[in-house]
Amino acid sequence: MAPHLNASSEVKQIIIPGNQKFPNNIDLPVIVYQAILNVPASGESEFIKGIFEQNGWSNSWTDSIYTYHHYHSNTHEVVGVSRGRCMLLLGGDDSILTTLEKGDVVLIPAGVSHKNVGSSDDFECVGAYPKGADYDMMRGEPGERELAEQNIKAVPIPETDPVFGNMGPVLEHWSGQTNKKAIETRPQF
What is the structure's pLDDT at 178? 43
How far apart CA 85 and CA 121 sit, in angstroms, is 9
How far apart CA 5 and CA 164 sit, in angstroms, is 9
Is residue 55 one of the residues assigned to a domain?
yes
Give the count of domains, the chain.
1
Query: What CATH number did the domain enclosing 24 receive?
Result: 2.60.120.10
Beta strands in the chain (DSSP E): 10-16, 25-34, 57-63, 77-83, 85-90, 96-101, 105-108, 114-119, 124-130
What is the structure's pLDDT at 78? 98
What is the structure's pLDDT at 184? 40
Is residue 96 one of the residues assigned to a domain?
yes
Is residue 42 one of the residues assigned to a domain?
yes
What is the structure's pLDDT at 19? 96
The residue range of the domain holding 92 is 10-156
What is the structure's pLDDT at 2? 76
pLDDT in tens, the chain (189 residues): 677 888 889 999 999 999 999 999 999 999 999 999 999 999 999 999 999 999 999 999 999 999 999 999 999 999 999 999 999 999 999 899 999 999 999 999 999 999 999 999 999 999 999 999 999 999 999 999 999 999 999 999 999 999 999 999 999 989 764 444 333 433 333
Is residue 181 one of the residues assigned to a domain?
no
- pTM value is 0.91
